Amino acid sequence: MTPGLQRSFPRRSPFRWPAALWVLLVLGLGGGLGTLSYRLAFQEALRVSSPPSPGGESASSSGTSPDHPVVVPEWTGRERVNILILGIDQREGEPGPWRTDTIMIATLDPVGLSAGLLSIPRDLWVTIPGFGENRINTAHFLGDAYGYPGGGIALAQETIRYNFGIPIAYYVRVNFTAFEKAIDLLGGIDLCVPEPIDDPHYPDARYGYEPFHIDAGCQHLDGRTALKYARTRATRGGDFDRMRRQQEVIRAVRDRVLRLNMLPALIARAPALWETLKDGIRTNLTLEEMIALARLAARIPDEKIHMVTIGPSMTRPYTTPDGAEVLVRIPEKVREALVDFFGPQLPRLEARVAVQNGTLRPGLATRVADALRGLGAEIVEISNADRFDYPETRILVRPEAQEAGRQVAGWLGLPPTAIREVQDLRCACDLLIRLGADFPER
């Protein structure tokens, strides 16, 4: 049984995919219907979709009748729940692998009753475990292309854990077609566009162009227009504006579902939704988990739903040796945002750290130490190494501090191969960072 979940009815796998849509569009955004609505809607969903029993009676007549109501599961866990949401750039007829056009993390805190959505820039330059440095949106592609255990989704999860220290148990992956259809199934969305957008180079489904224009002002968008609004980068803020618009679309979806009290009908139409969307969504959440998390989300007030992006103040532009224009993190700034977003449940770096400068770059050890303090590390030493011509940076760790070493490597943008286990560090520290000439100048 999944931790935190109290199972109250058997699994019914045909609900899995439409329920994934539900999580993407409602649950992760903080749903808002009462227990009675959930109960009645779920009973109706079971009644509509359950196959007849051998005796000719539907499942709803034995166990889901008013005399034997369905017991909707409760989420009883106390730990924060993180869900990775990936939007892939899959086009019709393409077998993959695909890059991720959108990377978000939905989070729910069952104790503090808060929720949020974190957007990560697709051009963020990170360490992808086992594959070196690259844009974060390539993790999914590489995982599928090279047979990473669990595929692209698993490598995307591990990449986020390695670079940000965020553990993620669940995922929802959606392609463009499913996104469009999902919006249309809701009858479109209403939102206020803050500025006109004119994008003559908006990409079409065949690697050509399909010009996009939208006026400023409040208006109703169908699925196709909402997708273009969420994907275009043709504003001054580029990808940062794009992430903001994606969060606007998600809020608009949530507002429509709640304002029109649509959730019971969506659940009752689960079989039809499945047929419409099954080819475009993948998730590891079960129906029981989604129902339980949705009930939890229903208790979260609007003012405790936070939308955060890793934005310009947390990153800086960087040109890679190959000439690629990317973004690199300012670790302490990103950490501040994550602590504010996730609260004290975000893992801290519980370690005593020594930093030594093995290069001729003045002040390098001090700058690295300051960054690590922002991550919660206890800095016990800042000094020069025994020489200044070390070619490679090394993180020397005691055997019991391996996890702390991996955290440091991820935050500093160093590969796991930089970590070396040492029995005696000859300092009152758990790990020693010896900076070499290869330490990135960013």
Same domain, 196 and 68: yes
Range of 22's domain?
Answer: 1-346
Same domain, 46 and 97: yes
Same domain, 361 and 324: no
Same domain, 321 and 386: no
Q: What angle do CA 314, 316, 322 make, to 5 degrees?
A: 140
pLDDT band at 78 (very low <50, low <70, confident <90, very high): confident
pLDDT per position as a tens digit, 362-380:
999 998 998 888 777 889 9
Final residue of a structural domain among 323, 346, 369 = 346
What is the average pLDDT across 213-234? 94
Q: Which range (31-45, 115-129, 164-178, 195-209) has the least confidence?
A: 31-45
CATH number at residue 304: 3.40.630.190
Residue 271 scores a pLDDT above 70: no
Long-range contacts of 414-421 (CB under 8 A, 24+ apart): 414/127, 415/127, 415/132, 415/133, 416/127, 416/129, 416/162, 418/392, 418/393, 418/394, 419/394, 419/395, 420/394, 420/395, 420/396, 421/396, 421/397
Same domain, 281 and 422: no
Final residue of a structural domain among 292, 327, 346 = 346
pLDDT band at 270 (very low <50, low <70, confident <90, very high): low
Q: What is the distance between the alpha carbons of residues 127 and 125, in angstroms, rounded to a whole number?
A: 7
Q: What is the distance between the alpha carbons of residues 121 and 93, in angstroms, rounded to a whole number?
A: 27
Give the bridge partners for 329, in sequence order.
315
Is residue 382 domain-resident? yes
Q: What is the distance between the alpha carbons of residues 89 and 109, in angstroms, rounded to a whole number?
A: 30
Is residue 355 domain-resident? yes
Residues 172 and 283 sit within 8 Å (Cβ to Cβ): yes
Same domain, 89 and 52: yes
CATH number at residue 363: 3.30.70.2390
Same domain, 123 and 166: yes
Final residue of a structural domain among 321, 346, 371 = 346
Same domain, 354 and 237: no
DSSP 172-193: EEEEHHHHHHHHHHTT-EEEEE
Residue 48 scores a pLDDT above 80: no
% of the chain residues with pLDDT over 70: 79
| Mean pLDDT, rounded, of the chain | 80
Is residue 291 domain-resident? yes
Same domain, 274 and 394: no
Domain total of the chain: 2
Same domain, 150 and 184: yes
Residue 235's pLDDT is 93
Residue 338's pLDDT is 86
pLDDT per position as a tens digit, 314-336:
999 999 889 999 999 887 788 88
Same domain, 314 and 381: no
Residue, of 50 and 112, whose pLDDT is higher: 112
Q: What is the pTM of this model?
A: 0.77
Same domain, 182 and 329: yes
